[in-house]
Amino acid sequence: MSGGTALNPKTAPPFPIAATAMVGNTQLRKNVRHATDVIQAKRARVVGEMPDWQALRDAGSAVREHTIRNLPFYLEQFERNCTAAGGHVHWARDAAEARAIVVRLAQEAIARGRTAPSIAGRPAGEPQGTHPGAGEAADGVALQGEVIKIKSMTTEEIQLNRALESVGIHPYETDLAELIIQLGQDQPSHIVVPALHKNRQQIREIFLREMKLEHLGESPQDLADAARRFLREKFLRVETAISGANFLIAETGGVCVVESEGNGRMCLTLPKTLITLAGIDKVVPRFQDLEVLLQTLPRSATGERMNPYNSVWTGVGKGYAAGDGPEHFHVVLIDNGRTEVLADAEARQTLHCIRCGACQNACPVYRETGGHAYGSVYAGPIGAILTPQLLGMHYAQSLPYASSLCGACYEVCPVKINIPEVLVHLRGRVVEENTGGLKTITNPEAMAMKAAGAIFRSEGRFRAAQRLGRMGETPLERRDGQGQKWVSWLPGMLGGWTNVRDLRAMPQQTFREWWEERERKGAPAGEAG
């Protein structure tokens, strides 16, 4: 069993190419449509119960905006308080640094496990793992071992599993959806429900094959039981865990993880060493801020009133709590492009995101293509604005265009991130990047936009363009069975529109012309204007 292949936006095909392939996969589209329909219906129901939902959104937005505006202050406060509670805080500028820190910490933890009696009561030095090579530290070449993982898209962002495996440390995903992805050698397609593109039969086949089971039923209970049996042995044996974080609490130095299955809590409490990775944007100022965010996050994410498991932990157990939870606790704070996002005043709101995934479920583009077309662990509308900013606008340039700008993502966002506004801003940055200082001379799209701008600024030019458009398209018009005129082919750049859809022919009379004619003739008395 390996970690599967990681999504890498730097090498992934551009969105239009990947999306064309995905929309041809009818099973995937059916699975995605069904799952997002179910989650959206649940979300609408539980949000509808909250008379103060808009006030909660405003409060969530205010918390996030205040935090991101004062990020250095709250991060330093978090570091002080986490350290005082017995934790160790590490700072990583980029993915490579974060991987190196986590690998080193995991190796140190595994080495400690070799020299001390384990929680399972094994003698010191006894091999920990069952996969080939585990427990072969004495060869002096590499210290091999195992870790369990929970709830971390950030580890996917930095492609941590590969780094661990390259030094002989095997990671076991314990979140059910992430386990399905790992066992199926697949890639996550949603930030909350990574296996959303799989249906129950496909999951059963993966479990049968990878868990080497002879029989397995099809019900959700059967699948959950199989996963529980598979994971329970890992929880009780592996002594190092790697987790993500939903929130970092500056005032206490605490970390919060919310989840539905309880597997996270097993990872947070049973192992001797806990390594938590979090983007620097995950911090919130006060414990009390969770009051708002823990109401809006589960409702937006999975349509639950409250997450079944909400875990908050601070440092390591001392005094009466000694031996309760991990003995060694590390937090790795990852920048990896986030300060660049912070520097852009118009796009900074991207960092307000609390990763609920509601924008993905609501997006008509995501619902057709699924997540893999985005080439990144962050898919859907949030991925379309986050990924190119984290990487630098040179990569993933097609993502800001992967949207109809319908605004559905903004409507559902619990912290009111105006994603369409950021998308338009990033499209401008893409054009700027591609044209440098010679915008209109070298770039046909920029020239076309400049011409369109000149036309829209003048009523006379706009009317003339409409007349020209009507004349120009007349030879291309075809009638359907109802006598309606359509254009199915347009030349040049305009052909991008008609490649995948027909264009309704322009009406012979525009609304303005109709209105003026009506005024000339004198509108009948009492007719609505």
**Is the Cβ of residue 260 or residue 269 nearer to ligand SF4 in the bound state?**
260
Q: Residue 302 Cβ, how far from ligand SF4 at the closest point, in Å?
A: 12
Enumerate residues 487-526 that contact ligand SF4 by CB under 6 A. Answer: none
Binding piece for ligand SF4, criterion CB under 6 A, among 9-17, 235-243, 356-364, 443-451: 356-364
By the rule CB under 6 A, 408 interacts with ligand SF4:
no
Binding piece for ligand SF4, criterion CB under 6 A, among 22-30, 107-115, 352-360, 446-454: 352-360
By the rule CB under 6 A, 56 interacts with ligand SF4:
no
Residues pairing with 279 in the sheet = 334
Q: Which of 22, 227, 249, 359 binds ligand SF4 (CB under 6 A)?
A: 359
**Is the Cβ of residue 203 or residue 413 nearer to ligand SF4 in the bound state?**
413
Q: Which of 7, 28, 391, 417 binds ligand SF4 (CB under 6 A)?
A: 417
By the rule CB under 6 A, 43 interacts with ligand SF4:
no
By the rule CB under 6 A, 163 interacts with ligand SF4:
no
Whole-angstrom distance between the N-terminal and C-terminal Cα of the chain? 69
**Is the Cβ of residue 255 or residue 385 nearer to ligand SF4 in the bound state?**
385
Strands 309-313 and 283-284, bridge-based pairing:
unpaired
d(CA 237, CA 293): 34
Enumerate residues 239-268 that contact ligand SF4 by CB under 6 A. Answer: none
Q: Residue 112 Cβ, how far from ligand SF4 at the closest point, in Å?
A: 37
Kindly report the backbone phi and psi dihedral angles of residue 253, in degrees, each rounded to the nearest multiple of 5, phi listed first: 75, 15
Q: Residue 436 Cβ, how far from ligand SF4 at the closest point, in Å?
A: 31
Q: Residue 386 Cβ, how far from ligand SF4 at the closest point, in Å?
A: 8
Q: Which of 9, 370, 414, 420 binds ligand SF4 (CB under 6 A)?
A: 414
d(CA 465, CA 458): 10
- Asked whether 330 and 88 are in contact (CB, 8 A), the reply is yes
Q: Residue 222 Cβ, how far from ligand SF4 at the closest point, in Å?
A: 31
d(CA 32, CA 194): 11
**Is the Cβ of residue 196 or residue 354 nearer to ligand SF4 in the bound state?**
354
Size of the site for ligand SF4 (CB under 6 A): 14
By the rule CB under 6 A, 422 interacts with ligand SF4:
no
**Is the Cβ of residue 418 or residue 466 nearer to ligand SF4 in the bound state?**
418
Instruction: Report long-range pairs for 389-392 (Cβ below 8 Å, ≥24 apart).
Output: 389/337, 389/340, 389/341, 389/344, 389/347, 389/350, 389/426, 390/157, 390/336, 390/337, 390/338, 390/340, 390/341, 391/9, 391/10, 391/337, 392/337, 392/340
- Asked whether 242 and 149 are in contact (CB, 8 A), the reply is yes
**Is the Cβ of residue 3 or residue 383 nearer to ligand SF4 in the bound state?**
383
Where do we find the tokens 């400690």?
112
**Is the Cβ of residue 275 or residue 382 nearer to ligand SF4 in the bound state?**
382
Q: Residue 385 Cβ, how far from ligand SF4 at the closest point, in Å?
A: 8
**Is the Cβ of residue 385 or residue 391 nearer to ligand SF4 in the bound state?**
385
Q: Where are the alpha helices (DSSP H) in 70-188?
A: 71-84, 95-115, 153-157, 160-166, 176-183
By the rule CB under 6 A, 19 interacts with ligand SF4:
no
By the rule CB under 6 A, 415 interacts with ligand SF4:
yes
Q: Which of 176, 250, 353, 373 binds ligand SF4 (CB under 6 A)?
A: 353
Torsion of the alpha carbons at 121, 256, 387 and 11, rounded to the nearest 10: 0
By the rule CB under 6 A, 413 interacts with ligand SF4:
yes
Q: Residue 356 Cβ, how far from ligand SF4 at the closest point, in Å?
A: 4
Strands 485-487 and 309-313, bridge-based pairing:
unpaired
By the rule CB under 6 A, 358 interacts with ligand SF4:
yes
Q: Which of 357, 375, 383, 388 binds ligand SF4 (CB under 6 A)?
A: 357
Q: Which of 19, 137, 257, 356 binds ligand SF4 (CB under 6 A)?
A: 356
Kindly report the backbone phi and psi dihedral angles of residue 312, in degrees, each rounded to the nearest multiple of 5, phi listed first: -130, 125
Sheet of strand 145-150: strand arrangement: 88-92, 328-334, 273-279, 240-243, 145-150, 169-173
Q: Residue 329 Cβ, how far from ligand SF4 at the closest point, in Å?
A: 27
By the rule CB under 6 A, 379 interacts with ligand SF4:
no
**Is the Cβ of residue 225 or residue 411 nearer to ligand SF4 in the bound state?**
411
- CA–chain centroid gap for 103, Å, is 24
What is the residue-wise DSSP string for 265-314?
HHHHHSSSEEEEEEEGGGEES-GGGHHHHHHHHHHHHHS-SS-SEEEEE-
> CA angle 446-404-508, nearest 5°?
75
d(CA 143, CA 110): 8
Enumerate residues 281-310 that contact ligand SF4 by CB under 6 A. Answer: 300
Binding site for ligand SF4 (CB under 6 A): 300, 353-359, 382, 412-415, 417
